[in-house]
Structure 1
Amino acid sequence: MEYENANRVFLLNKDGKPLMPCRPRKARLLLKSGKAFVVKKYPFTIQLKYGSYGYKQKVSLGVDTGQRHIGFAVTSQDKVLYQSEVELRQDVHKNLSTRRVYRRSRRNRKTRYRQARFLNRVHGKRDGLWLPPSVKGKASHNIAWIKRYLAVLPNPDLHIEVGKFDMAKMVNPAISGKQYQEGSLHGWKNYEYYVLARDEYTCQLCHKHGEGVKLVVHHIVYRSQGGTDRVDNLITLCTNCHTTKNHQPGGKLYKWMKAKKKVTRQLKGATFMNILRKRIMTAFPEASYQYGYQTFFDRKKFNLPKGHFTDAIAISGIKSVGQMPETVAMISQFRKKKRSLHEATARKGRKEANRTSKRNAKNTKYARGLWLNDYVHVIGTNLRGYVQSYLSKGAYVRLSDGLGNYVIKDGKNYISTKLCKLITHNGNWQKAEQKLLLYEFK
């Protein structure tokens, strides 16, 4: 298998119509000579200043949808022209929950006697398409990124992998018929009675039971960490084991729960993929769809390792892989606006009350000519990175390489702002070209 140097660059003609992607060297020459200019950063796209219609080959776009990562691959004949992975934020639900706690606490203190309102947001749910903000954001990003790539490709064939899961059968493989309507708690007063009976009124940690043993129903994966009230996420414990000490790192319950979490099946991903499938099919009715089992066999046929972008290559409908880039574009979402109104905990050693103290330095958006997520070059070195945070009132910055790692200079993860030269401003996305290891494809 032959390897190209890097991903192709997307190209538009003078009228904004897509042309075949070009090699990076050609793109650099066009930009340097002033014959083209940059129109998009994600994915990187340039537009010609002179008329050109060019020869357009048949192009396919493969998409591996998901709630955490989205894989993309652009193929033509037996060549992979471009491959990338988009990583979505996973902290939206946690941030909204934290904001809700602060808001309710504040309203309880400030407007204690105000009458509660329950119908002031129902208008957003009447269309039948309402989704929680965290789920809606991920579904919208899947659709939006597909449209981004379609906009810079000449008449591509769109191939998408979707998921369809029977979650009841995932919990109980033997389920059938009217059992789908009855559920796991059929015939029981509530889930506590069911869990106690299922565990035979025995503590699952110390195995004590009988008279004099007080039992409680406990979550394996805590609700604060995404756990649910499903019965397969609940266990029976006695009050002697269900203590604060045992919950702490090193405690008996902590060790047991840590091992148990690994085998507890979470259905959030399956639920999201069922939701996404309907929206994707509505947004792209002309696309070709397939499921994971077909992708698995196609990827094995091409001798490709497991990965979101390699799945996208198999999904694209390519017959054989003759050439492919030796790099993959890793694009990740960055939380640029940190709107925390006050600190969750008081800063150690503060000299004034927390309610009147200035905002934490972590919320600084701009300092000494640089904004958060700006892409900069460190003068005198070949180091580049995105502005991640500020230190010492903006005198120093921490830079990220786009892959979740700090840029290190002289053994330190912070760099003087004076040494940082702006390359380009950024929105809330970061990109890094990750080199692939050849042995992964043997």
Structure 2
Amino acid sequence: MRVFVKNMRGQALMPCSQRKARLLLKQKKAKIVGYKPFTIQLTYATGEAKQEVTVGVDEGARHIGIAVVSKDKVLAKGEIELRQDVHSLLMTRVQYRRSRRFRKTRYRKARFLNRRKPEGWLPPSIQAKLDANFAWVDKFCNLVPNPKLRIEVGKFDTAKMINPEIQGVDYQHGQTYGYYDVRYYVFARDEYTCQVCKKKGKILHTHHIVYRSEGGTDRADNLITVCTDCHTSENHKQGGILWKWMKEHKKVKQYKESPFMNTLRIRTFRKYPDAEITYGSETSPKRKDLGLEKTHYNDAVAITGVESINENAEDVFYIKQFRKKKRSLHEATPRKGRKAPNATQKRNSKNTKKLRGWHLNDEVACFGKRGWISGFTGTSSAYIVDGDGQYIQMPNKNYKQVTLSNATKICHNNTWQYFVAS
């Protein structure tokens, strides 16, 4: 992966090799101005020869693929993972506030008719993904000189994805149209097959994936077909298959990403009117012609329109967005170890942001592994997770805490985890 370069005025130049960047830094001819991705700034005037550079972007609801290509050379490529927890966190906030309003408190005037949504408003879960897509496109476009931007967007007909034969007035009918109720729609969707034992011809039930006692709804996407033999109290209890489904939020056939991609496509047209737009039907054959395997960053390489590759970056960067700080004032279940009731807790004392010079999401090396600090405990310990979200534990210990004296700080991070894999 090449190193991005800026001149003395902060303007982007052509990326250089890692070896050349090391020599410039050693000779004090450059200084480091960014680590994610690694960027240097020259401290002396130099020629500014520039070649044609194309930035390819594979937009998505869960992952973004980005590649920077110049002629037949892939200068940088990587993948970005977006947050998927915004909606669930907002629903949790709604529950906290609703329960708070129903307690014995002073009367507060209702506020459901005095707020208007501005033009172009989108739900926060969608807006967060849009902002992340555009922020990283702008980030990489600002790192190279005069980039040519090519973006792959998606255009989906969700109704036709559900029913390929749909036409005319059928678009005005919902998924459950023609069924006696939602229950029979769920049976038809699952082809009258128990989703536990995969058998037909049995007495069937519609099971709530998230139990109603846990806040589950009666929507079709929270219902699944289970036979009488599998719909038992044992399977509902901890350790049972139905309990496992609830904890893992088992997914049924859903089409959430399709409407988002349609929204993203329209906003992309407005945000980047000069960008070249392509579609997945064009990207896939190009990627196969280049002999690249199916990944988001390889799709981005194909999106750039490169005809052949003579130099392909061996390193791939991975970026993951996450929630850094919990700021809610109220909790359904107060944590242990509180010295004061939840009602009197201050916002800034509910989570420990830093401890003895360590901060949340600092990248650290520990027991031969690389990870990030996900939380602090006590006066000298922390929880450290690796790139797969698994806790790094001390050898021969069952608990998850790691003493900070056993960790070495690599760098400080904000709300993004960044690492490069060879």
Q: TM class, shorter-chain normalised?
A: 0.7 to 0.9
The answer to whether structure 1 residue 433 and structure 2 residue 420 are counterparts is: yes
SS of the residue 1:157 aligns to: strand
SS of the residue 1:70 aligns to: strand
Task: Give distance in 2, aligned partners of 1:420 and 1:186.
Answer: 59
Q: Which residue of 1 aligns with 2:51?
A: 57
Q: Which residue of 2 aligns with 1:130?
A: 121
The one-letter code of the counterpart of 1:417 is L
2:13 to 3, 19, 42: 19
Deviation of the 1:271 alpha carbon: 1.6
1:373 to 354, 361, 381: 361
User: Which shifted more, 151-160 or 243-252?
Assistant: 243-252
Q: Which residue of 1 aligns with 2:34?
A: 40
The answer to whether structure 1 residue 117 and structure 2 residue 111 are counterparts is: yes
Change (3 A) 1:37 1:271: same
Q: Which residue of 2 aligns with 1:440?
A: none
> Contact (CA 8 Å) 2:211, 2:246: kept in 1 or not?
no
Listed one character per residue, the Cα deviations across residues 75-124 of structure 1 (whole Å, up to 9, x for unaligned) are 112211101111111111122211211111111114474443212332xx
Deviation of the 1:61 alpha carbon: 0.8
Q: Which residue of 1 aligns with 2:162?
A: 171
The answer to whether structure 1 residue 265 and structure 2 residue 259 are counterparts is: no
Taking structure 2 as the reference length, the TM-score comes to: 0.82
Report the identity percentage: 51
> Contact (CA 8 Å) 1:361, 1:391: kept in 2 or not?
no
Listed one character per residue, the Cα deviations across residues 105-159 of structure 1 (whole Å, up to 9, x for unaligned) are 111114474443212332xx241x1111111100111011100111111111111
User: Which shifted more, 22-31 or 395-404?
Assistant: 395-404
**RMSD (Å) for aligned C-alpha atoms:** 4.0
Deviation of the 1:422 alpha carbon: 4.8
Deviation of the 1:330 alpha carbon: 0.8
The one-letter code of the counterpart of 1:109 is R
Q: Give ranges in structure 2 of 5+ residues lacking alignment.
A: none
> Contact (CA 8 Å) 2:371, 2:385: kept in 1 or not?
yes
> Contact (CA 8 Å) 1:195, 1:234: kept in 2 or not?
no
Deviation of the 1:23 alpha carbon: 1.1
Task: Give distance in 2, aligned partners of 1:107 and 1:257.
Answer: 28
Listed one character per residue, the Cα deviations across residues 30-88 of structure 1 (whole Å, up to 9, x for unaligned) are 23333222223333222111112332111111111111111111111221110111111
The aligned length equals: 413
SS of the residue 1:178 aligns to: helix
Task: Give distance in 2, aligned partners of 1:143 and 1:278.
Answer: 13
SS of the residue 1:324 aligns to: coil
The answer to whether structure 1 residue 88 and structure 2 residue 82 are counterparts is: yes
Deviation of the 1:386 alpha carbon: 3.4
Change (3 A) 1:294 1:221: farther
Change (3 A) 1:415 1:103: same
The answer to whether structure 1 residue 386 and structure 2 residue 372 are counterparts is: yes
> Contact (CA 8 Å) 2:327, 2:348: kept in 1 or not?
no
Deviation of the 1:280 alpha carbon: 1.1
The one-letter code of the counterpart of 1:69 is H
The one-letter code of the counterpart of 2:236 is H
SS of the residue 1:62 aligns to: strand
The correspondence of residues 13-412 of structure 1 with structure 2, limited to 5 A, is 13-111=7-105, 113-122=107-116, 125-127=117-119, 129-186=120-177, 191-192=181-182, 195=185, 218-219=207-208, 229-230=219-220, 234=223, 245-248=234-237, 264-346=252-334, 363-376=351-364, 385-393=371-379, 395-402=380-387, 404-406=389-391
Task: Give distance in 2, aligned partners of 1:299 and 1:227.
Answer: 42
> Contact (CA 8 Å) 1:362, 1:389: kept in 2 or not?
no
Deviation of the 1:347 alpha carbon: 5.0
SS of the residue 1:335 aligns to: coil
Change (3 A) 1:154 1:422: same
Task: Give distance in 2, aligned partners of 1:289 and 1:175.
Answer: 28
Change (3 A) 1:256 1:359: closer
Change (3 A) 1:110 1:45: farther
> Contact (CA 8 Å) 2:238, 2:244: kept in 1 or not?
yes
Q: Which residue of 2 aligns with 1:3?
A: none
Deviation of the 1:193 alpha carbon: 7.6
> Contact (CA 8 Å) 2:183, 2:206: kept in 1 or not?
no
Task: Give distance in 1, aligned partners of 2:283 and 2:313.
Answer: 20
